[in-house]
């Protein structure tokens, strides 16, 4: 159930600062296979680049499936002696909660299928129904366990974790904690389109404003919605940017994998955006809502009042429709 990020256009007003005005500090770069932009307002010029690099480094070492020496890679390759760190434990627990809440539509043990469909670091396979069924044996959160000594037990050696659907959101939360520790009260953290906002943009005197891309625009970008974000996180997911085309058959395979069936999900849901108190949670639910039908998502949103969501989908006639929770609608700029 690896997922992509619905790239968000962060709209930040840049203004020159006099000696008695607030200073907009910004760190830009690449990490976790994507770009990032971290903006923080202070009374002076600051640069937390080294600390930011450290956060990305420790998250990678813990949870990157693209680094052979990371903890998650070692566990995936059968090392049962790895003692996971506090970050891995926290992501494990958040994943468990979202797995249970979504009836298994969010499942980071889907890693073997992520590789098989060609969206991970492992070997891509030629899949048919029989092969997919055989791989599903190695999928299921109930088949893994975090032990009291912080090691991981897997029922089958072939089970592979893939936290890519939640790790970027979690990294954003860690970056937010870094800025909190630095006593920064106003910031906007963006990594690969996932966001965490605190306070307001003291330079412009306005709330932090972000745009959500239209998933049906090809060869360019157009904003579908602009929203205000304060003291909350938002993550988005969509199949319109990350997919692969079979070079022989021309068949399109999207990155969203249904952990129930094992197949990629060309569903009627085009894109999702979820707002939560932390970005890891928003990230996980945005992924799950891509894998399940709209009515299931609506039911979960009723059960989870701390979540707000915006879902773009196709109705039975193929017309583009939108669903918003009331809380999300209040954040939309008219």
- Kindly report the CATH number assigned to the domain that includes residue 194: 3.10.520.10
User: Is 2 contained in some domain?
Assistant: no
Instruction: Please check whether residue 1 lies inside any domain of the structure.
Output: no
Q: What is the pLDDT of residue 60?
A: 97
Q: What is the mean pLDDT of residues 266-274?
A: 85
Is 3 within the bounds of a domain? no
3-state secondary structure the chain: CCCCCCCEEEECCCCCCCCCCCEEEEEEEEECCEEEEEEEEECCCCCCHHHHHHHHHHHHHHHCCCCCCCHHHHHHCCCCCCCCCHHHHHHHHHHHHHHHHCCCCCCCCEHHHHHHCCCCCCCCCCCCHHHHHHHHCCCCHHHEEECCCCCEEECCCCCECCCCCCHHHHHHHHHHHHHHHCCCCEEEEEECCEEEEECCECCCCECEEEEEECCCCCCCCCEEEEEEECCEEEEEEECCCCEEECCCCCCEEECCECCCCCCECCCCEEEEEEEECCHHHHHHHHHHHHHCCHHHHHHHHHHCCCCEEEEEEECCCCCEEEEECHHHHCCECC
Structural domain includes residue 100: yes
Q: Assess if residue 247 is contained within a domain.
A: yes
Domain membership of residue 140 (yes or no) is yes
Q: Is residue 26 part of a domain?
A: yes
Q: What percent of the chain has pLDDT over 90?
A: 68
Higher pLDDT, 63 or 245: 63
pLDDT of residue 305: 92
Residue 7: pLDDT band (50, 70, 90) is very low
Q: Give 100-139 pLDDT, tens digit per residue.
A: 999 999 999 999 998 887 777 777 777 788 998 999 999 9
Residue 212 lies in a domain: yes
Q: How many domains does the chain have?
A: 1
* Residue 284 domain boundaries: 8-329
- Of 58-72, 118-132, 293-307, 318-332, the one with minimum mean pLDDT is 118-132
For residues 16-27, average pLDDT: 72
Work out the pLDDT band at 261, boundaries 50, 70, 90: confident
């Amino acid at each position: 159930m690896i997922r992509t990020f619905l790239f968000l256009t962060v709209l930040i007003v840049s203004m020159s600062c006099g000696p008695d005005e607030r200073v907009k500090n910004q760190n830009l770069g690449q990490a976790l296979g994507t770009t990032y932009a971290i903006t923080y307002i202070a009374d002076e010029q600051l640069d937390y680049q080294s600390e930011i690099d450290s956060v990305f480094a420790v998250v990678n070492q813990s949870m990157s499936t693209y680094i052979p020496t990371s903890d998650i890679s070692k566990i995936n390759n059968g090392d049962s002696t790895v003692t996971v760190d506090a970050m891995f434990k926290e992501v494990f627990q958040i994943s468990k909660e979202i797995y249970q809440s979504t009836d298994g539509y969010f499942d980071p043990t889907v890693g073997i299928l992520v590789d098989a469909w060609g969206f991970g670091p492992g070997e891509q396979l030629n899949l048919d129904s029989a092969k997919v069924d055989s791989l599903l044996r190695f999928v299921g959160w109930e088949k893994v366990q975090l032990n009291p000594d912080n090691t991981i037990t897997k029922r089958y050696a072939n089970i592979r974790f893939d936290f890519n659907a939640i790790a970027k959101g979690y990294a954003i939360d860690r970056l937010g904690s870094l800025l909190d520790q630095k006593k920064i009260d106003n910031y906007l953290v963006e990594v690969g389109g996932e966001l965490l906002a605190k306070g307001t943009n003291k330079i412009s005197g306005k709330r932090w404003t972000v745009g959500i891309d239209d998933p049906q625009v090809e060869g360019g970008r157009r904003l579908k919605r602009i929203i205000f974000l304060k003291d909350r996180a938002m993550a988005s997911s969509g199949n319109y940017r990350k997919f692969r085309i079979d070079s022989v058959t021309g068949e399109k395979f999207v990155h969203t994998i249904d952990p129930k069936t094992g197949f990629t999900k060309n569903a009627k849901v085009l894109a999702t955006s979820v707002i939560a108190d932390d970005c890891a949670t928003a990230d996980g639910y945005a992924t799950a809502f891509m894998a399940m039908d709209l009515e299931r998502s609506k039911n979960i949103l009723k059960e989870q009042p701390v979540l707000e969501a915006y879902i773009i989908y196709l109705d039975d006639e193929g017309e583009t429709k939108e669903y918003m929770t009331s809380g999300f609608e209040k954040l939309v700029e008219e």
